[in-house]
Amino acid sequence: MRIIAFGDIHMNLGALAAIPAIADADLLLITGDLTNFGGRREAEQVLAAVRAVNPRILALAGNLDRPEVDDLLAGQGISLHGRGVITDGVGIFGVGGSNPTPFATPNEFAEAELATLLDQGYAQVATAARRILVCHPPPADTATDRLANGAHVGSLAVRDCIERLQPALCLTGHIHEAMAEDRIGATRIINPGMISGGGWVEVDASTDGITARLMASA
**How far apart (Å, rounded) are the C-alpha atoms in residues 2 and 83?**
21
**According to the model, what pLDDT value does residue 218 have?**
59
Q: What share of the chain is helix, strand, coil (3-state, %, to 5)?
A: 25, 30, 40
pTM of the model: 0.98
**According to the model, what pLDDT value does residue 217 have?**
80
**How far apart (Å, rounded) are the C-alpha atoms in residues 32 and 194?**
10
Amino acid at 133: L
Residue 198 DSSP label: T
CATH code, domain carrying 65: 3.60.21.10
**According to the model, what pLDDT value does residue 210 have?**
97
Both ends of the chain: CA-CA distance in Å?
Answer: 25
Residue 22 Cα to chain centre, angstroms:
17
In the chain, how many domains are there?
A: 1
Which structural domain, as residue segments, surrounds residue 12?
Answer: 2-216
**How far apart (Å, rounded) are the C-alpha atoms in residues 65 and 83?**
18
pLDDT tens string 53-75: 999 999 999 999 999 999 999 99
For residue 160, the tally of other CB atoms under 10 A from its CB is: 16
Whether residue 124 contacts residue 93, with contact meaning beta carbons closer than 8 Å, is answered with: yes
Amino acid at 175: I
From first to last of its 218 residues, the chain has per-residue pLDDT tens of 999 999 999 999 999 989 999 999 999 999 999 999 999 999 999 999 999 999 999 999 999 999 999 999 999 999 999 999 999 999 999 999 999 999 999 999 999 999 999 999 999 999 999 999 999 999 999 999 999 999 999 999 999 999 999 999 999 999 999 999 999 999 999 999 999 999 999 999 998 899 999 999 85
**How far apart (Å, rounded) are the C-alpha atoms in residues 51 and 63?**
22
- Mean pLDDT, rounded, of the chain: 97
**According to the model, what pLDDT value does residue 43 have?**
98
